[in-house]
Chain A
Amino acid sequence: DTAVSQTPKYLVTQMGNDKSIKCEQNLGHDTMYWYKQDSKKFLKIMFSYNNKELIINETVPNRFSPKSPDKAHLNLHINSLELGDSAVYFCASSQEGQLRHEQFFGPGTRLTVL
């Protein structure tokens, strides 16, 4: 059974398009995250939700909009895609905030913007 799943795994699209990535966790965790990993492997947090409420919003362009319909799902919608958005996006979840509990990562979505 997959603990944290993401769809799609790969996403190739043209500049200017709008796309969404979906994430679901079946671990019963109450906190979910979106990370962006660039080509140098740097992992940067973008957003975090706790029980459907936004608790972390890093300096991310407002073209990125997360949505959490329930605590098991955290989706990421990106408007007007740019070349620099090309990266691997990871969803993750944890039981509480990050201070004491491990994070479980999804398999990632490799986004390529042409």
Chain B
Amino acid sequence: GQQVMQIPQYQHVQEGEDFTTYCNSSTTLSNIQWYKQRPGGHPVFLIQLVKSGEVKKQKRLTFQFGEAKKNSSLHITATQTTDVGTYFCAGPRGNNRLAFGKGNQVVVIP
């Protein structure tokens, strides 16, 4: 079935630096969602992208949906300790379900 792949699976980021996490699908997606899960917490919705080539910003976070609607990225600038957590992308996967990627676990080094 359709899956979304995330890379990298783990990242260690120095506080103050920028980083990017990627999400790829083998098939075209009608939309893609991003979630963040803090350590010990639950996934929280960040954003949904729908249009080809769409770019959305939330403060230091920039989300992008590829032109072919097969990939997406989340770029965070000036990383803060509060950015620690696991970032998931999720795409619709037939039969009315959402397929989550395996997540990118981010550790922030003070």
Contact = CB atoms under 8 A, between A and B. Distances in A.
A41 B42 contact: no
B58 interface: no
Secondary structure type dominating chain B contacts? strand
Interface residues of A, number: 22
Contacts, number: 52
B80 interface: no
B88 A102 contact: no
Interface in B4-38: 30-31, 33, 37
Interface string B27-53: 000110100010001111100100000
Contact of A56 (B33, B37, B44, B95): B95
Contact of B42 (A48, A99, A106): A106
Interface string B70-104: 00000000000000001010001001111010110
Interface of B: 30-31, 33, 37, 41-45, 48, 86, 88, 92, 95-98, 100, 102-103, 105
18 contacts: A40-B102, A41-B37, A41-B102, A42-B100, A43-B100, A43-B103, A48-B96, A92-B43, A98-B96, A99-B31, A99-B96, A100-B31, A100-B48, A102-B48, A103-B43, A105-B43, A107-B42, A108-B42
